Amino acid sequence: MKIIKRCIFTILLLTGLVIVAPLFIIQFGPAGWGTTSKVVLNMVFGYGAEAPSASTVRQALKVADGFAVSLYAADLGKVRFLKVTEAGDLLFSRPRSGEILLLERDLNGDGLPDGQRVLLAGLTRPHGLDVADGWLYVAESDGVGKIAFDSAKGNVVGDYQRIVSDLGDNGNHWTKTIRAATDGWLYLSAGSTCNVCEESDPKRATIMRLRPDGSEFSVYASGLRNSVGLDWAPWDNSLYATDNGRDLLGDDIPPCELNRIQEGGFYGWPYVNASTPDPDFGGVKPDLAANNIAPSHEFRAHNAPLGIRFLRHSRVAGFERAALVALHGSWNRSVADGYKVVSLHWQSDGSIVERDFLSGLLGAEKLLGRPVDIAEASDGTIFISDDYSGSIYRITARDAGGAAVSSLTMPQRQGAAEESGLASYTPEQRRSLAELGKSAYQNNACSSCHALDLSGNSASAIPLVGLAERYTVDELASFFTAPTPPMPVFPLNAVDREALAVFLLARP
């Protein structure tokens, strides 16, 4: 049955291409089609480009002041939504192959994942995913499932079980996004079947809500053409969702939207675009249109905002009340636009200021990528998925001198030695080595980047706490021979490295 559904889906996509291509050429001319033909092929067939090299990322991509960007993983195929686990592994969905995969956290400090493996396979176009209370939740195109998940080991346990079935996935916008909220509910978005129409399925073009076992399922908000990204503002727990505006009305209308989602709220589609009546459906249901809730923020037309993530762990000034949004990029504009990640900054008066955060993917001669989703780790590291080149980018904070900040406080690994090795020293040996290590810490100005407690000695200082849970003396001493860039290799001999390791591990 799944094979038949996928064949039908492919036929519909091919039919859509036959319809869309002439419309695009009529509206924008052959030159416009040439500019974005690869994007349409990417949408329909999964056509993409090779991942940019690490040097291209450094040279071509620009990131906001206070941050550094690098290529974290490549050759991932149509990678879509992301989730960082408590242990620091990175989960991602791959709808076209029906899989949920895991990138193992970077324990060897080379700035790359330590491995990749498939957690779930044989799913129906899985897209959104989240982890809560020991469960991994997956939004497939036609339902929702869950499976027990061991975050420390990065493994699923037991059987995958469907908690919601028979969701419509015909037509356009078949992806579903699921997020677990602190209020105990799961929130699920579903896009429209069409560019603009009145839906016969009341679950389409909505955000829905359900309990973790699938019960109490209901439509939470409606009139949302394609709200792919969902997240909550950490300062007041308001739910925000991105929304893609309709196509084929020209370059500059209608805007895409960021909406503050209210229970029972109606957000206009298909009768109202942002705050303007739709030219085709604006007069169809005026009473319903009058209840339209205007967007909190408007993006440029056809920029296709997808994933949104409020930053909760950033140490960079100016990002205390900010969210990142992935703009997937336009396909129906005469001049391509979007293809970047922007930051939204909430002001004291409630207004929102939009700024470029990661740009350079749309070059003068070549398109490097199309951002999809954003995830943030507990140490402030940001990951961005790109389904055009099959890549994931890694964003880290920079210190005051412009170097990317690295941390020794990596997530605890499964199977790490329970004993740090300190017990092998006599009390006198430990005191002697700790004193020598303290001198090495001070003489090499380690405190300029690191703090010895959680208070920190500057806004960007990284606390060196809990190291004994992650390293033995030998492992930490070995780390100092080839530390994670940009941490320099200090001129330490073997005794100095051992002493510094003992000093750091012996601290509470």
CATH number of the domain that 488 lies in? 1.10.760
Residues 65 and 165 in one domain: yes
Contacts of 135 (CB under 8 A, 6+ apart): 146, 147, 148, 149, 212
Separation of alpha carbons 344 and 256, rounded Å: 14
Residues 368 and 497 in one domain: no
Residue 305 has pLDDT above 60, yes or no: yes
Residues 69 and 187 in one domain: yes
Q: What is the pLDDT of residues 45-82, one digit of tens each?
A: 445 678 888 889 989 999 999 999 999 999 999 999 99
* Pairwise pLDDT comparison (205 vs 495), residue with the higher score: 205
Least confident of 20-29, 214-223, 484-493: 20-29
Residues 107 and 200 in one domain: yes
Query: What's the pLDDT at 386?
Result: 97
Separation of alpha carbons 113 and 411, rounded Å: 13
Contacts of 442 (CB under 8 A, 6+ apart): none
Q: Is the dihedral of CA 191, 197, 201, 202 positive or negative?
A: positive
**Domain encompassing residue 280:** 49-375
Nearest CA-CA partner of 379 in 311, 317, 457: 311
Sheet architecture: strand order including 115-120: 82-84, 90-94, 99-104, 115-120
pLDDT averaged over every residue in the chain: 86
Examine residue 389 and state whether it is found in any structural domain, yes or no. no
Q: CATH code at 93?
A: 2.120.10.30
Q: 29 exposed, middle or buried (CB, 10 Å; 0-12, 13-18, 19+)?
A: exposed
Separation of alpha carbons 179 and 232, rounded Å: 10
Q: What is the pLDDT of residues 449-472, one digit of tens each?
A: 776 654 444 444 566 666 776 678
Separation of alpha carbons 456 and 118, rounded Å: 38
120 three-class SS: strand
For residues 270-276, average pLDDT? 97
| Whether the Cβ atoms of residue 142 and residue 168 lie closer than 8 Å to each other | yes
Q: What is the pLDDT of residues 356-381, one digit of tens each?
A: 999 999 988 889 999 999 999 999 99
Query: What's the pLDDT at 484?
Result: 54
Provide the domain count of the chain: 2
Half-sphere exposure of 396 (CA within 13 A, CB side): 19
For residues 205-213, average pLDDT? 98
Residues 345 and 431 in one domain: no
For residues 385-397, average pLDDT? 96
Separation of alpha carbons 25 and 40, rounded Å: 12
Q: Is the dihedral of CA 440, 442, 445, 446 positive or negative?
A: positive
Examine residue 5 and state whether it is found in any structural domain, yes or no. no
Instruction: Write down which residue in 340, 375, 410 finishes a domain.
Output: 375
Examine residue 435 and state whether it is found in any structural domain, yes or no. yes
* Pairwise pLDDT comparison (93 vs 435), residue with the higher score: 93
Residues 433 and 292 in one domain: no
Residues 197 and 319 in one domain: yes
Separation of alpha carbons 319 and 508, rounded Å: 31
Examine residue 414 and state whether it is found in any structural domain, yes or no. no
